[in-house]
Amino acid sequence: MPVPVSMTGFAGASFATPIGQAAIEIRSINSRFLDLTLKVADDLRAFEPLIRERISARLARGKVECRLSLQRAASAESTRLSPAALAALHRLGEEVRRVLPQAAPLTLAEVLAWPGALETPALDADALRASVLAALEGALDRLHESRAREGAAIAEGLRSRCQAIDSIVDRLHARLPELRAAVERKLGERLNQALGAALSSAAMLTRDEVAERIRQEVTLYGLRADVDEELSRLATHVAEVRRVIDAGGAVGRRLDFLMQELNREANTLGSKATAIDLAQSAIELKLLIEQMREQVQNLE
C-alpha cells in the first residue's frame, strides 16, 4: 500500500572515485516548496548542475541540503616531468650553446616553467561522473526510504486521530435529540418567565397566542443552534482524510487544506454550543485537529 512521505530524512555514504575517496550527505526538513542547497567540493563542482537536476527530479518538497566532499588520493595529486618536453628542451639548449657559447644555462625554475615540462595524468571524466551519479542515486534511495518510514508513522498517527474525531461525532450525533430538547425546554422556560406575564396581560394577545409565539421562537432558535450539519461535514472531511492518506505519495498540501476545513467546522460547532457537552467536544476536536495539522506540515 502506498504511504505518505515525510519531508524529514537523512542519508549518507562514502564512495571511491578515480581521484580519491568522496562522501555524500543529504538531509531534509519540511518546507512549503523544494528549497535545495548544494555544497560541493571544488574538484567535483562541474557536476553541480547535474546533481541539482537529479535531486529536483526525485524530491517535490522540503528544505534539502546536499554535501559532497572529496579527499584526493596521493596518486591523484602526483604531477610528473614530461620526458619528451625535457628532451626537446635539452636539444634546444645544445643548439643555443653552439651558437652562443657564453649563454647561461637554464635554471631549475625556468625548466619547470617551460610549457609542457610538467604533466598530470589524464582524468577519466566519464568514470568520475559515473561514480558521483551512482552514489547520489543510492543516497536518494536511502533518503526516500527514511522519509517513507517517517511518513508511515505520521499516517498512523493521523488515522488514530481520525478515529478519535469519529468517536466524538458519533457521540454527539447520538445525543443530539436529547441536547436539542434540553435547549428548547430551558429557552421556553426563560421566555415564559420573561415575557409570559407581560404579554398575556395585553389586550391584543391571548395566553394561547403568547404560548404559540414562544413556541415559534424556540423552534427558530433550535434550528439556528442545530449542529447536525456541522457533524455531518466533520465526518465527510475525516473520510476524505483517510482516503488521501491511503492514496499515499505527495499528499501534504491536500491534507493541509482538509485540516483547514475540519478546523472551520469545529469552530462553527463551538460557536453554536448551547450546552457544556458541545463546548467541551468542540475543544477536544480543535485539539485533535491542531495535532493533525502539525503532523501534516511534515508530509511531502
91, part of any domain: yes
How many domains would you assign to the chain? 3
Shared-domain flag, residues 221 and 287: yes
- 194-209 residue pLDDT tens: 555 555 554 455 556 5
4, part of any domain: no
213, part of any domain: yes
Shared-domain flag, residues 26 and 134: yes
3, part of any domain: no
CATH of residue 22's domain is 3.30.230.10
* Half-sphere CA count of 139, side-chain side, radius 13 A: 27
Read off the pTM: 0.68
Task: Dump the DSSP string for 41-76.
Answer: -GGGGGGHHHHHHHHHHH-SSEEEEEEEEEEE-HHH
Domain that holds residue 59: 9-75+126-149
Q: What is the mean pLDDT of residues 143-158?
A: 93
168, part of any domain: yes
- 74-101 residue pLDDT tens: 655 556 677 787 788 788 888 888 888 8
Of the listed ranges 44-53, 120-129, 147-156, the one predicted with least confidence: 120-129
Shared-domain flag, residues 97 and 133: no
Q: What is the mean pLDDT of residues 254-258?
A: 94
Q: What is the mean pLDDT of residues 153-164?
A: 95
What distance in Å separates the CA atoms of residue 257 and residue 170, rounded to the nearest whole number? 23
Which pLDDT belongs to residue 278? 78
Which residues have CB under 8 Å from 183's CB, separation 6+? 221, 222, 225, 274, 275
Shared-domain flag, residues 69 and 160: no
What distance in Å separates the CA atoms of residue 268 and residue 235, rounded to the nearest whole number? 14
Shared-domain flag, residues 215 and 115: no
Shared-domain flag, residues 185 and 155: yes
Shared-domain flag, residues 155 and 138: no
pLDDT at 223 over 50: no
2, part of any domain: no
Which residues have CB under 8 Å from 292's CB, separation 6+? 158, 161, 162, 241, 259, 262
User: By percentage, how much of the chain surpasses pLDDT 70?
Assistant: 78
Mean pLDDT is highest, among 164-168, 188-192, 279-283, for 164-168
Q: What is the mean pLDDT of residues 181-202?
A: 58
Shared-domain flag, residues 18 and 134: yes
Contact 295, 245 (CB under 8 A): no
Shared-domain flag, residues 262 and 198: yes
User: By percentage, how much of the chain surpasses pLDDT 90?
Assistant: 43
1, part of any domain: no
Which pLDDT belongs to residue 100? 82
Shared-domain flag, residues 136 and 201: no
Which pLDDT belongs to residue 152? 92
Shared-domain flag, residues 18 and 145: yes
199, part of any domain: yes
Copy the grid coordinates of residue 149. Answer: 518510514
Who has greater pLDDT, 69 or 202?
69
Shared-domain flag, residues 170 and 218: yes
Report the DSSP beta bridge partners of residue 4.
Answer: 249
